[in-house]
């Protein structure tokens, strides 16, 4: 599968590989990448669209173990050391890729990765699946889509540039209309497949440093669950970002960039 990618050219000892969340796409990272440059990270940065997301090909197979194969494809075009930065589904899938390819990553920064015990997801009855399946699919223009999303609670705390990037990469033309690049059915199927990566039972095998990033205002994990993840991964570290929920890279791109710069320095010094 030929995935759609974007590269911010640079030079340095390591490449950052960015993996987005369910329903998102590669361009949502742009404000954070701009902040990384202002924070003097000069290395190469690569982001890609998972299958059925953005402008990558559509697929009927949304198992997260298959999505880890998308990471493998992205890695095949990168030479030298890699640090993975993943959000939500992207974080879980990056970690699966690190387990499948020991030594390929020197470390990972994972923003609220969706890693839970098997069968913890409620399939078609889960509100994320239901919400994605009934999501509005088409708009008269990107401006209409922006107005629609801007008033929704989930986007209330997003950096304006992140929301603009979400619209830019999240819509494709279809006749005289603009439609979601990630079809509602594909987003729902990706949510439904949550937990199909087998990562939770292999957390003790993680052999790279992992920085686990959570928003101070998040409700992603049950109370105490972050400690479960940290206890199972030797060498992991918790970073809490103030004034952020689940969407840390889009709500606090500057703070997220500073976390990554600090992590890169620590990973490369080990």
Write out pLDDT tens, residues 198-235: 899 999 999 999 999 999 999 999 999 999 999 999 98
Q: Which residues pair with 108 in a beta bridge?
A: 84, 210
C-alpha 67/C-alpha 77 separation (Å) is 16
Domain limits, the chain: 5-132+184-269
Per the CB < 8 A criterion, the answer to whether 3 and 71 are in contact is: no
Name the pLDDT band for 100 (thresholds 50, 70, 90).
very high
Distance from C-alpha of 109 to C-alpha of 113, rounded to nearest angstrom = 10
CATH architecture assignment, domain 5-132+184-269: 3-Layer(aba) Sandwich (3.40)
* pLDDT for residue 76 is more than 80: yes
Task: State yes or no: pLDDT of 159 exceeds 90.
Answer: yes
Residue 179 gets the label, from left (phi > 0), alpha (psi -120 to 50) or beta, of beta
Angle at 146 between CA 144 and CA 152, to 5 degrees: 110
Banded model confidence at residue 195, pLDDT cuts 50, 70, 90: confident
pLDDT value of position 119: 64
Measured CA to CA, the distance from residue 2 to residue 5 in angstroms comes to 9
pLDDT digits (tens, 9 = 90+) for 255-266: 999 999 999 999
Average confidence score pLDDT of the chain: 94
Measure the CA–CA gap between 103 and 107, rounded to whole angstroms.
9
pLDDT band, very low/low/confident/very high, at 17 (cuts 50, 70, 90): very high
What percent of the chain lies above the pLDDT cut of 90? 90
Q: What 8-state DSSP symbol labels residue 178?
A: E
Answer whether residue 124 shows pLDDT above 80.
no
Residue 120: the pLDDT is 58
Residue 121: what pLDDT?
Answer: 61
Mean pLDDT of 106-135: 86
* pLDDT above 90 for 102: no
pLDDT-derived band at 131 (thresholds 50, 70, 90) equals: confident
pLDDT score at 126: 80
């Amino acid at each position: 599968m030929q995935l759609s990618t974007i590269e911010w050219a640079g030079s340095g000892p390591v490449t950052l590989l960015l993996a987005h969340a369910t329903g998102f796409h590669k361009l949502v990272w742009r404000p954070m990448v701009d902040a990384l440059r202002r924070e003097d990270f000069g290395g190469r940065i690569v982001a890609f669209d998972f299958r059925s997301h953005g402008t990558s090909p559509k697929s009927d197979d949304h198992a997260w173990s298959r999505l880890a194969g998308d990471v493998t494809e992205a890695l095949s075009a990168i030479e030298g050391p890699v640090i993975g930065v993943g959000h939500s589904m992207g974080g879980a899938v990056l970690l699966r890729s690190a387990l499948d390819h020991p030594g390929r990553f020197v470390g990972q920064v994972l923003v609220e990765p969706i890693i839970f015990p098997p069968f913890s997801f409620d399939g078609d009855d889960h509100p994320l699946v239901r919400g994605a399946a009934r999501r509005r699919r088409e708009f008269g223009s990107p401006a209409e889509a922006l107005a629609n999303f801007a008033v929704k609670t989930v986007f209330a705390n997003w950096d304006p540039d992140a929301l603009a990037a979400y619209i830019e990469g999240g819509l494709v033309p279809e006749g005289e209309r603009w439609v979601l690049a990630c079809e509602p059915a594909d987003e729902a199927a990706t949510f439904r497949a949550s937990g199909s990566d087998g990562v939770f039972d292999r957390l003790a095998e993680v052999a790279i440093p992992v920085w686990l990033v959570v928003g101070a205002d998040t409700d992603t994990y049950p109370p105490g669950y972050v400690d479960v993840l940290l206890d199972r991964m030797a060498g992991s570290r918790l970073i809490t970002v103030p004034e952020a929920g689940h969407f840390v890279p889009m709500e606090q791109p500057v703070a997220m960039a500073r976390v990554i710069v600090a992590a890169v320095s620590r990973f490369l010094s080990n």
